[in-house]
Structure 1
Amino acid sequence: MSALIQGLYSPVQSRLMAKLVFISLIFILPTLFSMEAKSEAKNQQILSTEAIDHVWSGHRIKPYLLTRGKQQFVAYYDSNRQMTVAHREGAGKWRYYKVDSWLGWDSHNYVTMELDATGHLHVMGNMHADAIEYFRTTEPLKVRSLKRVSVMVDTRLEQRMTYPIFMLNNKGELLVKYRDGGSGNGNEIYNIYDTKSQSWSRLHANQFLDGQGLMSGYFEGPTKGPDGNFHLIWVWRNTPNAATNHSLSYASSPDLVDWVDSSGKPITLPLTLEHTEVVDPVPP
């Protein structure tokens, strides 16, 4: 449907439409976007609601809420489809900042963010097999100091990035993972950030997952479990068509560096279909 709409509207008309079609971003305390179990949700109580901005509603794009202590950040696309980050401390006033990145007609292009150990905010998004869109603050906790960073680790690998996710390991170090390549033909890359040098490097010697030019992985996680380990499940996909998903697989890790299967047997990286534990060999 997005392609049809895009074809019906000129660029100027699309911008006008973006200004006319919007909804309010409602901020609900305390857990608007929490992923807790339904059983726990029954015991939660909404304390207050607050409309903090108008947002694009031409297609579905989830906002991202980050809470670290008294610091709260929300990342989203405004009614003009411009990537926006808002911040407040406690119940204070929101401060807004818009970076030079505008949403196209693609619901894959969400925004993700995380704070590093020194209080700097890292923001990525608006990428679906696109070149890197990455912003970092130059002053801790100051969204208005967000600046574009054109290279993270490897310019060559950062031209077709998709599904970025920031994570913290058990030491509180900042990591980011993303897919390099396309659906059905992609690799998974993990990077780790050094706060002293303010630079990124590869977490693994090679890519984390290698589709070998034949497939790619679609992941849930890594998710930290009650055992302190990170757990990961995924399916393999042979083409962009979701009907070619197959071979539900599993791995876990204490540090996101070394990985094992469910029996504790080490898994050699990069992950390939031959080097992973297939939980259910369901065919495409």
Structure 2
Amino acid sequence: MAIYVKVALASVLAAVSIAVPAAPTVTAISTTVLTTNGRTALTYTGYMNGESFQQDGIVTVNGWQYAAFWDQDGYVNLSRRQLPSGAWANLRLTDYRTTSTDSHNTISIGIAPADGTIHLAFDTHSSVFRYRKSVAGLATTPGAHAWTADRFGAVQSSLTSTSMAVVTYPQFFAHPDGTLQLAIRTGVSGTGDEVLYEYRAGAWTYLGEFIDGTTYNNNAYLFGIEYDNFDPSGPLLHVTWTVRETSDAATNHDLFYAYSKDKGRTWRNSAGTVVATTGSNPLASAAANLKVWGIGQNRGLINQESQVVDAAGIVHVLASHLPAAAPSNPDFTSARETAVLVHYWRDKESKVWHQTYTPFLERSARGDIAVDANDNLYVASGDSSTRKLHIETASRASGWTDWTIRYTSGPVCYSDPLIDHQRLRSLGVLSIFAPRYGGSQIDVQDWRTQSS
């Protein structure tokens, strides 16, 4: 009888074990070399190629993947390849040359679904805007167009008659109806605003300021801004941010959130109450009714990590700061040495926010969070001390509590890895833009994903 009970119990435990959700796994497909001539200048603990606030640095549209980088001579490069295994083809735009070594001056790619234009914003850190766009159809019918520099127009310093003399952090995002939009900071670190532009019918329109920081002598740093396409009432635009009180990163604090039902014209807080109007009554950067999680100053909270929205309309934020039990530390660099990755998410139905601490360290680097078609989460993160890149995953079935490291590179990577969000969501392949230490070589890693 005792033997039977033990066997039966073992069978039950095995069944329970099988039923326990497991974080997704990743299997290497290939690693391709995007360039061996990337810009090598190292500032602010990163390169001009591969920073978390590049929205986007690598992106897939219509079965073609695009990636942008600065070469060592200071020219913007844009490469493309046909998926799943086409070779990279590169074009080099030599009519503009940067002298910058500032890692804030990244290249962001925007693609307008309505007319197939490719938009590039680049070389902008508390300075004049720099931008150019391609001919129509280059992204929607790529096979019909030569991949040459003459497909792009001249460099522009503004989008409309509105001044863009002191701007930073251009972030493109597209509405499901084909409209392309751009969020960008005006002003400087510690005193700045977020403004919104919209591209339709071949032209840009200025919508106005949507987050006000200068009135309060601070500025918002966005974790991300993007649409979901899953709400019955129409796509919602979600934005999350932290606030910095001075130019010192140690004064970063708190997690804030707002969303819009009308392409950023009006804004609601997490409870669903309309609280702001772009242009006339913008969101107050640190308003109490916009704060969804308290994170104090001197907690090693780094700005602009990452945000993604899953198919259920759940907003996920990847942040990193000191563990709850650690004492506060006003030395930001020192605090970052023990800061860990933290996952925040908002349940759409209850509107309740949740927090999960992970044990993963980054030091001065930042990670990128992305979601697959089944709402499982993937993070690519670096460690500036060990120079290793990690892939961490968590399953929807576990409530994203089973965070697991699925890959660790050798000590060859640096700066911030970037995930191709569209390719993961639509094709189930995790593509990572991964600068190597030294900056000259940039790899694109491709991983097949699988969930239980």
TMscore range, shorter length: 0.7 to 0.9
Residues 44, 261 of structure 1: alpha-carbon distance in 2 compared, 3 angstrom cutoff:
farther
Residues 1:170 and 1:237: Cα distance change in structure 2 (over 3 Å):
same
**Does the 8 Å contact 2:105/2:123 carry over to 1?**
yes
Aligned to 1:166: 172
Higher RCO (CA < 8 A, seq sep 6+) = 2
Deviations 1:148-185 (A, max 9, x none): 123202342x0011000110013221001100010111
2:212 to 192, 210, 213: 210
- Name the structure 1 match of 2:62: 69
CA-CA distance at 1:97 after TM superposition: 2.2
Q: Residues 108 and 127 of structure 1 are in contact (CA less than 8 Å); yes or no, is this contact kept in structure 2?
A: yes
Q: Deviations over 1:9-45 (max 9, x none)?
A: xxxxxxxxxxxxxxxxxxxxxxxxxxxxx944x2343
**What is the CA-CA distance between 1:66 and the residue it aligns to?**
2.0
Contact 1:77–1:103 (8 Å) recurs in 2: no
Does 1:137 pair with 2:134? Answer: yes
Structure 1 segment 21-100 matched on structure 2, within 5 A: 39-40=23-24, 42-59=25-42, 60-63=47-50, 64-90=57-83, 91=86, 94-99=89-94, 100=96
The one of 115, 121, 125 equivalent to 2:122 is 125
User: Which structure has the greater CA radius of gyration?
Assistant: 2
- Residue ranges of structure 2 left out of the alignment (5+ in a row): 1-21, 51-56, 139-146, 298-452
Give, in whole Å, the separation in 1 of the partners of 2:34 and 2:135: 28
Q: TM-score, normalised by structure 2?
A: 0.49
The whole-number CA distance in structure 2 between the counterparts of 1:93 and 1:49 is 9
- Structure-1-length-normalised TM-score: 0.76
Percent sequence identity is: 25
Name the SS of the counterpart of 2:69 in structure 1: strand
Distance 1:88 1:155 in 2: 36
Give the Cα–Cα distance (whole angstroms) in 2 for the partners of residues 129 and 237 of structure 1: 16
CA contact (8 A) 1:132 1:151 kept: yes
* Alpha-carbon spacing, 1:281–1:70, altered in 2? closer, same or farther (3 Å): closer
- After the TM superposition, which residues 13-28 of structure 1 pair with which residues of structure 2 at under 5 Å, given as runs? none
Structure 2 match to 1:265: 273
Q: Distance in 2 between matches of 1:222 and 1:93?
A: 29
Mark the runs of 5 or more structure 1 residues left unpaired by the alignment.
1-37
Could you say what the CA RMSD is over the residues aligned between the two structures, in angstroms? 2.4
- 2:110 matched residue in structure 1: 114
Equivalence for 2:244 = 237
